[in-house]
Amino acid sequence: MTTSTSPLLYIETYGCQMNVNDSEVVASVMREQGYATCNAAEDADLVLVNTCSVRENAELRVWRRLAELRTLKRKNPRLMLGVIGCMAERLKEKLLEQEQSVDLVVGPDAYRDLPHLVSLARAGQKGVNVELSREETYAEIAPVRYASNGVAAFVSIMRGCNNACSYCVVPYTRGAERSRSAQSILREVQTLADNGYKEVTLLGQNVNSYRTYADDGKTVACSFAQLLEEVSQLSPQMRIRFSTSHPKDMSNDVLHVMAKRSNICRSIHLPAQSGSNRMLALMNRSYTREEYLDRIAAIRTILPGCSISTDLIAGFCSETDDDHRQTLSLMREVGFDFAFMFMYSERPNTKAARRYRDDVPEEVKTRRLNEIIALQGELSLKSKQPYVGKPVEVLAEGFSKKSKEQLFGRTSQNMVVVFPRGSHNAGDCLTVTPTRCTSATLVVE
Ligand code: SAH
Ligand code: SF4
Ligand code: F3S
């Protein structure tokens, strides 16, 4: 129970959706110890910074934040400061040397050990656990949805990654891939439905390789397609999303399940990374441009009207202007609805860092990224225009950024819609007709 004397925990989360969900697991582990969550580092007894290592900038942001927290700690020496997540895993004890105000360093598979490490830290010893696990999925820990809008929630279905994309640090920070039991996933989604949630996003670095095995350790007990179908059958009112799909594992089975079940959202995130076969091979993505386009064609055939989003990297090792033009041409050919676009950032100890030279000059990377962003702006606008003047179904998630008179929500295609609040509330599913759009938003005036 939370009382006024409960110690207070503040968690600050950087990085991907998996980190957001991990922070909810951490809140649950610490609640068992009597900690309640609070909304500001200034109020807290324990601050945990859940970190990301995917690009250098992500780490630089955390270092800047740790410097601020150091000042806060000087004013309040009782404050305990922990670094958790991917940077904790990547840097391990080195983190303690570089930032002495840090009391504990805890990797993504060691969150059950947090109470013990916090008590060590309280006793004046630095607590470190960066052990990775082959089994940990936190299956039976019920995440505390402390920052949730009460409408949409993330559910992790697996952890780690078994791919070896040459640029990527995630396999090092998150360890080997492992899938969580289907029963525990279904139980969690049912609980969310019972608590009024209207949307879940199933999370994994490569959800299409989700797989559990029968007792013999060989027969597949549950594939991703089966899991998706079962989750979608729990409640017809619950919308289901999933992320991320890897093009090499995105099977037609999943598309057929989506076609059958209308509550699975018409939106697929399929990171392409590059349009050049030479780059895809160097990136070790295990598919060619042609194979990627084959998956796009399958989506278009089996799921007409499904939106497709992607991730793109500009300026990977040895990328030429011609490689870059192939990325632009892939973007046009697919007509992505949305994209996350990044400049290549070399990560220590990855295959790319060890074997290839990060030889595309910064200004060339910037120019290429800007061209990608500009083109995606056009494509995003074009993808929204057909919805103007047509009724769309939207799940309201909360107030718009601009005004409490407006709500925002998303369509099945994951397009953001802003509309007058009227008598509606977050959690309502309603039909509205956009009157205009920008490249990012459909607007009802
Ligand atoms: N598992 C997911 C994504 C993980 S990281 C997948 O395979 O698609 C999210 C995105 O960050 C990646 O898709 C990639 O576009 C980008 N990214 C990863 N490492 C990067 C690096 N070193 N530099 C720039 N972008 C990177
Ligand atoms: Fe990184 Fe590739 Fe794994 Fe995604 S699939 S997390 S990009 S190694
Ligand atoms: Fe970042 Fe770790 Fe996610 S490196 S992108 S927080 S898995």
pLDDT confidence band for 2 (50 / 70 / 90): very low
d(CA 418, CA 408): 4
pLDDT digits (tens, 9 = 90+) for 10-31: 999 999 999 999 999 999 999 9
CA of 146 to the centre of ligand 1 (A): 27
Pocket test for ligand 1, best of 54, 177, 336 (most atoms within 8 A of CB): 54
Q: Work out the average pLDDT over 153-161.
A: 97
Q: What are phi and psi of 387, to 5 degrees?
A: -90, -10
CA of 104 to the centre of ligand 2 (A): 27
**Domains contained in the chain, CATH given:** 8-129 (3.40.50.12160), 388-443 (2.40.50)
Report residue 253 CA to chain centroid gap: 23
CA dihedral (190, 185, 340, 23) positive or negative: positive
pLDDT at 109 over 80: yes
- What Cα–Cα distance (Å) separates residue 9 from each residue in 29, 116, 244? 11, 15, 30
d(CA 43, CA 49): 15
pLDDT digits (tens, 9 = 90+) for 191-214: 999 999 999 999 999 999 999 999
CB atoms within 10 A of CB 119: 12
pLDDT confidence band for 116 (50 / 70 / 90): very high
Q: Work out the average pLDDT over 219-231.
A: 97
Q: Is 309 within 8 Å of 339 (Cβ atoms)?
A: yes
Evaluate: CB of 174 within 6 angstroms of ligand 3: yes
d(CA 67, CA 376): 36
Smallest Cα–Cα separation from 210: which of 162, 152, 264?
Answer: 162
Please report the pLDDT score of residue 4 as a whole number. 61
Q: To which residue do tokens 């082959």 refer?
A: 134
Task: Kindly give the interhelix angle for 289-302 and 252-260, rounded to the nearest 10 degrees.
Answer: 20
Is the bond leading into 71 cis (omega within 30 degrees of zero)?
no
Ligand 1 binding residues, C-beta < 6 A: 54-55, 167-168, 170, 205-206, 244, 246, 271, 273, 311, 313, 342, 344-345, 347
CA of 418 to the centre of ligand 1 (A): 29
CB atoms within 10 A of CB 195: 11
- Dmax (CA) for the chain in angstroms is 64
Q: Work out the average pLDDT over 318-331.
A: 98
Q: What are phi and psi of 320, to 5 degrees?
A: -100, 170
**Sheet containing 199-203: which strands, arranged edge to edge?**
152-156, 199-203, 239-243
pLDDT digits (tens, 9 = 90+) for 330-363: 999 999 999 999 999 999 999 999 999 999 999 9
pLDDT confidence band for 5 (50 / 70 / 90): confident
Is residue 126 left, alpha or beta, with left meaning phi > 0 and alpha meaning psi from -120 to 50?
A: beta
Q: Work out the average pLDDT over 244-263.
A: 97
- Ligand at minimal distance from the CA of 167 is 1
